[in-house]
Amino acid sequence: MLIVLTGLLIPLISYLAYKAGTKPDFLPINCVLFGYSCPHDIPVQGYYDEKYKSIYDLFLQNFKNGLEVGAGLSVYVDGQQVVDLYGGWKDPKTKIPYTNDTLQMVFSSTKFLNAIIVAQLVEQGLLSYEERIATYWPEFAQGDKEN
């Protein structure tokens, strides 16, 4: 009997330890282990062009899978906005919804976009890498800095 129990318990404990150790950051442990108290009724607002409904579905699934707490997403195609979504929670404990006015910390996540934009402007002849920043942004030169 002990061998049978051990043969059942070891795989079960291993499975539970694996699930607990690999759970997404924003998913309750009881959802991961037992399938209850999983996120539902997640508020998502905004709009999307029907051709891009799959983006809405993926956006919502991110919350259900515990990969996001609150987020916003905007997608442009050929200069036209086709998706503008925001959802989840600003504060999951108090259930304050994430809205289009919720401030988001982005840290350095936009540096690569700025670099691409500057490179395109240089390519178009509108900026030069050799020119001082103050040439384009005079206020930047305050406090004895020019570049």
| Active site amino acids | 108
Q: What is the four-CA torsion angle of 137, 122, 81, 43, rounded to 10 degrees?
A: -60
In terms of Cβ atoms closer than 10 Å to its own Cβ (0-12, 13-18, 19+), residue 59 is: buried
